[in-house]
């Protein structure tokens, strides 16, 4: 089984913010593969099903971004999944909007949610899918990532969400190297 953990903040206030693109990827996958996200536990809402020919668990932590590692650790332990089979999906200020990048491992790059995952797992050895949101000009990063998206930005993100869902499917079906080769240069 592969766990796909989308990072974000729970609640309607954060639904359409840049910081919640990880949640939105999970929602896109859940709709595409008809995997209901109705189970609550392990500090998250989650659902299990088939995607890309394999069993997957799609999850959204309910701990707020800075404590996402609680859900990552609880899910990996509960379902006996190694960190190599945990794909973390999150927003990245250092990538332009619309760009996605997969990596097999690495540091947090200053992302507080990813820092929490690394801290709780005590490892940087897990794959991740970074989704570009761009760095704000003349605005503090916290305000930028938590600001609600404009209608135009929501429409632009639909293309990114589809590409990210496709990248997750390739990751599940063929592994990180194939997914990186297909999506990191787009």
Domain residue ranges in the chain:
2-183
**Residue of 19, 43, 111, 120 marked catalytic:** 19
pLDDT band at 143 (very low <50, low <70, confident <90, very high): confident
User: What's the pLDDT at 68?
Assistant: 96
Q: Which of 174, 91, 77 is nearest to 128 (CA)?
A: 91
120 as an active site residue: the answer is no
- Indicate the pTM of the whole model: 0.95
What one-character DSSP code corresponds to residue 34? T
| C-beta separation of 171 from 87 below 8 A | yes
169 φ, ψ to 5°? Answer: -60, -45
What one-character DSSP code corresponds to residue 135? P
Distance CA 71, CA 16 (A): 21
Q: Quick one: average pLDDT of 155-165?
A: 94
User: Which pair of structure tokens corresponds to residue 17?
Assistant: 């913010």
| pLDDT tens per residue across span 10-41 | 999 999 999 999 999 999 999 999 999 999 99
Residues in the chain: 186
Q: Could you count the other beta carbons within 10 Å of the beta carbon of residue 70?
A: 19
CATH code, 2-183: 3.40.50.1470
């Amino acid at each position: 089984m592969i766990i796909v953990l989308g990072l974000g903040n729970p609640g309607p206030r954060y639904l359409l913010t840049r910081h919640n693109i990880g949640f939105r990827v999970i929602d896109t996958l859940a709709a595409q593969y008809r995997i209901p996200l109705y189970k609550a536990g392990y500090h998250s809402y989650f659902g299990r099903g088939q995607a890309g020919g394999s069993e997957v668990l799609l999850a959204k932590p309910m701990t707020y971004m800075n404590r996402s590692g609680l859900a990552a650790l609880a899910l990996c332990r509960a379902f006996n999944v190694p960190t190599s089979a945990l794909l973390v999906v999150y927003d990245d200020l250092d990538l332009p909007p619309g760009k996605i990048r997969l990596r097999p491992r690495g540091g947090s790059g200053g992302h507080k949610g990813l820092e929490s995952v690394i801290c709780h797992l005590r490892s940087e050895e897990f794959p991740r899918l970074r989704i570009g949101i761009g760095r704000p000009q003349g605005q503090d990063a916290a305000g930028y990532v938590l600001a609600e998206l404009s209608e135009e930005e929501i429409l632009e993100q639909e293309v990114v969400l589809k590409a990210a869902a496709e990248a997750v499917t390739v990751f599940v079906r063929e592994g990180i190297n194939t997914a990186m080769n297909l999506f990191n240069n787009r």
